Every structure is written in structure tokens, then in C-alpha cells.
């Protein structure tokens, strides 16, 4: 066999075996300790009648709230999940539109999107939610003589979505700009319009690259959903505050809320790590 043929043979990559110390270092001991601590804390809390009442008040309450169009939902953890998911979906869509506008050669689209991103990133999320809840919502109600009125949940969702859309727009923009310009030029040379090239060539690759940071933003939004409690949206934190105001047991009420947020956050963090691993392997 000639040297050329030998060089053409693709030999399998030989991976060195990890030592025991390396395996112990790479094993997620922090996750094991954290899960064990949460389980122990949860079991200990269930032994207390006050903690059981607090958890029951937040997780499975008797109270309901309207989310719009006469639809009722139980307060507490269900409202937190609803606000997080709906706000994130809205922010994903609006952020994608703004991200595409941010890389557009049209000066009007570029400057309008840049203005939105810079303003929204310059305003604290808490201030934005308060502005939507106590300025925009009452203003719309008064302007339409009560014909168009947003619920507290809808106002909180809109505030979170508008704020996070600015951050997601920058994530999309970075993903789009990471694609080599030659791909857009090649698509246009094949007769595609700018919209078709962006839709079928650029965006599929860009979105694939930004899936991990987008997933991390979802975890961040889950924690920031507690901010909507300032406009009396009865999610986990607001439910804990109501429990404390009724029973004067702040220790049990806020500890229960913190534990629930921690459990939800960890579940989504493990899901994000799984998604990152799968996308990295596939890539």
C-alpha cells in the first residue's frame, strides 16, 4: 500500500482514558449535594404543620385569578409557570423580529430597533413592570371607556415580554452576525430574495447557535417572574406575601417560596444543560 493511500485512510480518534481523580472532579457532586439538601429540607418542612399550610397555600390554593376573557386559574405556582411561559414565547417572537431588524441595511428598521433595544435595556425590569401595570393599563382603560381593559396577569406578562425582548434581540443579532457573510451572498446569487435567504439559510443556522443562551434566558425569566408581584399578580411570591399577612409567619411563608423557586429553577437548569449537551454533540 502506497504512502498516499495510507494517508487517505481515516483512522479513529484515540481518546485517553480519564484517571480516577479526573472522573471524580468531572462528576457533578455539586448537583448531588444540592438535590440531597433540597430533599432533606423538603422532608423536614413537611414535618411542620405551619410549613405544610404555607406550601398548600402556594401550591394548591383555593383562590383563583382571571387571566383574561373570563378564564380563571388558581393562584400560586400555576400563575408563575403561566407568566413565565407566555412571556418567554412573546419575547422570543418580538426578539427575533428586532434581531433581524438590527442587522438590516434599511436605516429606518435599524435605528428603530436599536432605539427600542437601548431604551428597554436602560430601564430596570421592575420599573417597566410598574409602568405597564399602573400607567399603560389604566390609560388604556380610560381611553376606551372601559371597553378594553387588561388584567393584572396580562399586564405583568406584557411587561416581562417587552423587557426580555430587547435582550433576546441582541442574542439573535449575535447569532446572525456569527454566520459568514458568504452564505448570504451565495443565497442571493442563487436568486433568493433577502427575506428568503434570511429565512431558509441564515436564521436556521443562527438559531441553532443561540439555543443555549436562549435557554438560559428562560431560566432567568422564571426567577424574574417574581417581579410581577409588585402589580399584585398572585404568583409564588405574592401568594407567600398573602400567607404571611394572614398568619404573621414570615419565616415559613418566604422559606416555602424560596424552596419552590429553587426547585423550579434547578429543574429548568438541568433541562438547559441537557439541551446544551445535545446541541453540542449534534454540532
Share of the chain above pLDDT 90, in %: 34
Cell numbers linked to 12: 479513529
> What is the distance between the alpha carbons of residues 82 and 195, in angstroms, rounded to a whole number?
33
Q: Is the pLDDT of residue 85 over 80?
A: yes
> What is the distance between the alpha carbons of residues 159 and 165, in angstroms, rounded to a whole number?
10
* DSSP character string of 195-251: HHHIIIIIHHHHHHHHHHHHHHHHHHHHHHGGGGGGGT--SHHHHHHHHHHHH--HH
pLDDT band at residue 1 using 50, 70 and 90 as cut-offs:
very low
Tell me what the mean pLDDT of segment 84-103 comes to: 94
- The H-assigned helical ranges of the chain are 3-8, 20-26, 29-46, 49-59, 77-102, 107-122, 125-131, 137-143, 152-177, 181-189, 194-197, 203-224, 236-247, 250-282
- What pLDDT score does 16 carry? 59
* Residue-range domain boundaries for the chain: 72-236
pLDDT band at residue 11 using 50, 70 and 90 as cut-offs:
low
pLDDT band at residue 280 using 50, 70 and 90 as cut-offs:
low
Cell numbers linked to 258: 424560596
Torsion of CA 147, 153, 156, 161, to 10 degrees: -90
- What pLDDT score does 7 carry? 47
> What is the distance between the alpha carbons of residues 118 and 185, in angstroms, rounded to a whole number?
30
State the pTM of this model.
Answer: 0.83
What H or E segment, with its residue span, contains residue 133?
A: none
pLDDT band at residue 15 using 50, 70 and 90 as cut-offs:
low
**In the predicted model, what is the mean pLDDT of the chain?**
85
Task: Just give the CATH number of 72-236.
Answer: 1.10.3720.10
Comparing 26-30, 67-71, 74-78, 178-182, the range with the smallest average pLDDT is: 67-71
- What pLDDT score does 164 carry? 95
Q: Is the pLDDT of residue 272 over 50?
A: yes
What are 183-240's pLDDT values in tens digits?
888 888 888 888 888 888 888 888 888 888 888 899 999 999 999 999 888 889 999 9
**Is 54 within 8 Å of 240 (Cβ atoms)?**
yes
Amino acid at each position: 500500500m502506497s504512502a498516499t493511500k495510507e494517508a487517505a485512510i481515516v483512522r479513529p480518534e484515540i481518546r485517553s482514558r480519564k484517571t480516577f481523580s479526573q472522573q471524580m472532579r468531572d462528576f457533578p457532586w455539586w448537583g448531588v449535594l444540592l438535590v440531597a439538601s433540597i430533599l432533606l429540607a423538603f422532608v423536614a418542612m413537611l414535618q411542620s404543620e405551619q410549613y405544610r399550610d404555607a406550601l398548600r397555600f402556594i401550591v394548591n390554593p383555593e383562590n383563583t385569578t382571571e387571566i383574561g376573557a373570563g378564564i380563571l386559574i388558581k393562584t400560586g405556582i400555576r400563575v408563575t409557570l403561566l407568566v413565565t411561559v407566555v412571556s418567554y414565547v412573546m419575547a422570543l417572537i418580538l426578539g427575533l423580529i428586532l434581531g433581524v431588524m438590527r442587522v438590516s441595511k434599511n436605516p429606518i428598521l435599524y435605528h428603530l430597533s436599536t432605539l427600542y433595544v437601548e431604551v428597554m435595556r436602560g430601564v430596570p425590569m421592575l420599573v417597566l413592570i410598574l409602568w405597564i401595570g399602573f400607567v399603560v393599563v389604566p390609560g388604556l382603560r380610560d381611553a376606551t371607556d372601559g371597553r378594553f381593559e387588561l388584567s393584572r396577569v396580562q399586564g405583568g406578562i406584557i411587561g416581562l415580554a417587552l423587557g426580555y425582548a430587547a435582550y433576546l434581540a441582541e442574542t439573535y443579532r449575535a447569532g446572525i452576525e456569527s454566520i459568514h457573510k458568504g452564505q448570504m451572498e451565495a443565497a442571493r446569487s442563487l436568486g433568493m430574495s433577502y427575506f428568503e435567504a434570511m429565512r431558509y439559510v441564515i436564521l436556521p443556522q443562527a438559531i441553532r447557535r443561540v439555543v443555549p443562551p436562549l435557554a438560559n434566558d428562560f431560566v432567568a425569566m422564571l426567577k424574574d417572574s417574581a417581579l410581577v408581584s409588585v402589580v399584585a399578580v398572585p404568583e409564588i411570591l405574592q401568594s407567600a406575601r398573602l400567607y404571611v399577612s394572614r398568619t404573621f409567619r414570615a419565616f415559613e411563608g418566604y422559606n416555602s417560596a424560596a424552596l419552590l423557586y429553587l426547585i423550579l429553577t434547578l429543574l429548568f437548569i438541568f433541562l438547559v444543560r441537557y439541551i446544551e449537551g445535545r446541541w453540542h454533540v449534534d454540532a
